[in-house]
Amino acid sequence: MTIKTHHKLLLTGAAGGLGTALRDRLKPNCDVLRLSDKADFGPARAGEEVMLADLADGAAVNAMVQGVDAIVHLGGYSVEGPFEPILQANIIGVYNLYEAARQHGVKRVVFASSNHVTGFYRQSQTLTADMPPRPDGFYGVSKAFGEDLSRFYFDRYGIETACVRIGSSFPEPRDRRMLASWLSYDDLHRLITACLTTPVLGHSIIFGMSNNAVTWWSNEQARHVGYVPQDTSDVFRDAVYARTEAPDLNDPAVQFQGGGFVKAGPFSG
């Protein structure tokens, strides 16, 4: 059962893979779901509003945020790549979002951070939320910035944020790495719902993973959020092993939690 605690909820990045997966799932969380993305993704459906906005455009973001009660921020540049587009979408964009939230009195944000904030820890390590970031690229750096910025806006202005370090959210794990990092769409919705409904969120870092037997992350410091994953990558293990080769332990993508991101680049322009 989903507890409806907000009248109008904003979902950014609505045209992306996770935004598409969450579009119908989030409707029971609110009376009106406002959807936003940079590019046109079609008209609003029942119970929806659509407001297009480029996150780098402060005025457009301000208008996008006006009138909402809480924000689920999935928007931005979602892969490793050149710095400039990441700067515009993920650094300037997240600043614009929090400034708009401050100006319009929005007090709760679910911020889609990433496991790539800690991608240069080894796969043999188990991380807690208080361990220092070790980004594996420009994308991870931008998400670390977002976590720090959201902490500042909590300490200064009281805007509560859940920084959800999303692992690998797909219909099923694609490779052996994802047996540790997999997050089902339904568990992602359960996690966002927990962040929206917990009485006191504060500023929390939460690892976005399902109930996988193999894991690199501990959510012991986020038990106050009340997230209880129901799905597991374990049911896919035999199939994943059957279609993939044994890992090369000398490969940095196997040594480090960030996988292929640790080898991406360098980028020019």
Residue by residue, what is the 3-state secondary structure of 71-104?
Answer: EEECCCCCCCCCHHHHHHHHHHHHHHHHHHHHHH
Sequence-separated contacts (24+) of 217-220 with Cβ below 8 Å? 217/115, 217/126, 217/127, 217/128, 217/165, 217/167, 218/126, 218/127, 218/128, 218/129, 219/129, 220/128
3-state SS, residue 22: helix
Element (H, E) at 169: none
3-state SS, residue 187: helix
3-state SS, residue 218: coil
Q: Residue 168: how many CA atoms within 13 Å on its side-chain side?
A: 23
**From CA 208, how far away is CA 180, in angstroms rounded?**
11
Annotated active-site residue 153? The verdict is no
Catalytic-labelled residue, pool 139, 153, 157, 227: 139
Q: Which of 212, 213, 163 is nearest to 184 (CA)?
A: 212
Q: Which residues are catalytic?
A: 139
